[in-house]
Amino acid sequence: MSYKEELIKAMSILAKDDRTIFLGQEIVTNKFYGTMGEVPIGKMIELPIMEDVQMCMSTGLSLMGYIPISLYTRMDFLILAMNQLVNHLDKIEKMTCGDFSPKVIIRTVVGEKLPMNCGPQHTQDFTSVLRRALENIKVVTLTKSDMIISSYVDALNYKGSTILVEYKEMYGK
């Protein structure tokens, strides 16, 4: 299957878990690049542009027993949530001596440069920065289509939080 088809299947698998809820921008309107067509609308929360608050909401929903799938259409926009990501989601378990263990699945995309370059503020890859800044959150790069489903299932079954980095240029392959 193609990269995009694997993403559609992975989102469908995640949606079947009663604990999951999807939140972010463009998830209802354009189904996050057409990959969420099989996710029921009742499992989606469409948000305005407020990346920092989105990460706060994701963490809070996690503490209430949900498994939020927090979608950031570009990795560049995830940078706006770094305070909540690095200082809160990543550290809550340590700060509460293990009383709280949030689990959020963060889906983000490195924008494409071809066939149309989306510009420097939409195509940056901060994967190495995230790996250096985060102590407790796994960062997984999805460089091949055959790793997508297993990586999302692993994130669903993993005790902690995971960031899954997709590559928009691969959606058509």
Mean pLDDT of the chain: 95
pLDDT over 80 at 173, yes or no: no
pLDDT tens for each residue of 112-164: 888 778 788 888 999 999 999 999 999 999 999 999 999 999 999 999 999 99
Worst-scoring range by mean pLDDT, 16-25, 98-107, 118-127? Answer: 118-127
pLDDT tens for each residue of 42-81: 999 999 999 999 999 999 999 999 999 999 999 999 999 9
Rounded to 10°, the helix 3-15/148-157 angle is 20
**Cα–chain-centroid distance for residue 71?**
4
Find out whether 88 and 74 touch, Cβ atoms under 8 Å.
Answer: no
Residue span of the structural domain in which 44 resides:
3-170
Q: Which residue has the tokens 């440069």?
A: 113
User: What's the confidence (pLDDT) of residue 139?
Assistant: 98
CATH number at residue 145: 3.40.50.970
User: What's the confidence (pLDDT) of residue 55?
Assistant: 98
Instruction: Tell me the CA distances in angstroms from 159 to 22, 138, 148, 173, one per residue in order.
Output: 18, 11, 19, 32
**DSSP 3-state assignment of 113?**
coil
Q: Into how many domains does the chain fold?
A: 1
**Cα–chain-centroid distance for residue 18?**
18
